[in-house]
Amino acid sequence: MIDINRILTRLEDPILDVRYLLDRKYPKKSVITYVSNHYGLTKDDRNILARIACKKDVADDRKRKVVSIESIYNKKLFIDGFNVLITVESLILGYPVFLCDDGILKDVRSLFHRYKMGLMTREALYKIETITSKYNPKEILIIFDSQISKSGELSKLTRDIFNKDNCFVFISKNTDKDIIENSKKEIVATSDGIIIDNVEKVIDIPIYIANEFKYNYYIPTRARYGRYNQSEIGVC
């Protein structure tokens, strides 16, 4: 069993150092490498740092784009298929999912393993369908990346589970580009930083699923500089 609180305790100082350097405009890749080498972090630790931390101005800009789930009522909703699905699966399976600097839940499982459909895929899709249907969007467009194995099979399963006239499932060779170019002023469900930076409105579906079904997610220290209290690390 992974002890997430122990991992976060180990990463407290590295997270602060990464934030400090990012806020001073150092390149993120170089910052992660430098700080990770300094603290002798594992590959998994480095991936966690890269997911959690971003510059304050970037984080603030992304947070301003996040809208409540009530906002999808009678609106068109784009869903970044694999991105949302993998995060929800991680919540169900108890893999580490973090509330990151930009205010969005992100998993680290996709960085460690290549995605494969499993026992929890159907359940995760049902959870996504349940939470979105509850708020009655006008139209749902779910886009899966064709480069991931069995995306066609997954698309069919998604259509069967959503089973609505207003839900459309697509396979794309370039999911990020297609979502950015077609979503315009619509709401997009994703935790992908590139997409978030290029759209106007974002919703974090996994956090609503976590709260609705009582799944754990983890909150790293919110401090950016200096020392901080252990109480700043928590589990929701």
Q: Is the per-residue pLDDT at 203 higher than 70?
A: yes
Quickly count helices (H) and strands (E) in the chain: 11, 9
Q: 67: domain CATH number?
A: 3.40.50
> How many domains would you assign to the chain?
1
Within-domain flag for 86: yes
> How many beta carbons lie within 10 A of that of residue 37, not counting itself?
10
pLDDT in tens, 13-47: 999 999 999 999 999 999 999 999 999 999 989 99
Within-domain flag for 226: no
Q: What is the per-residue pLDDT for 4?
A: 85
Q: What is the per-residue pLDDT for 142?
A: 97
> Alpha carbon of 52 to those of 26, 42, 98, 152: distances in Å?
16, 15, 7, 31
Within-domain flag for 12: no
Within-domain flag for 10: no
Within-domain flag for 136: yes
* Mean pLDDT for the stretch of residues 110-130: 83
Q: Which residues pair with 169 in a beta bridge?
A: 142
Within-domain flag for 46: no
Which is more confident, 15 or 222?
15
pLDDT in tens, 65-108: 999 999 999 999 999 999 999 999 999 999 999 999 999 999 98
- Any long-range contacts for 176-179 (C-beta under 8 Å, 24+ apart)? 178/143, 179/78, 179/80, 179/143
Q: What range defines the domain where residue 145 resides?
A: 63-213
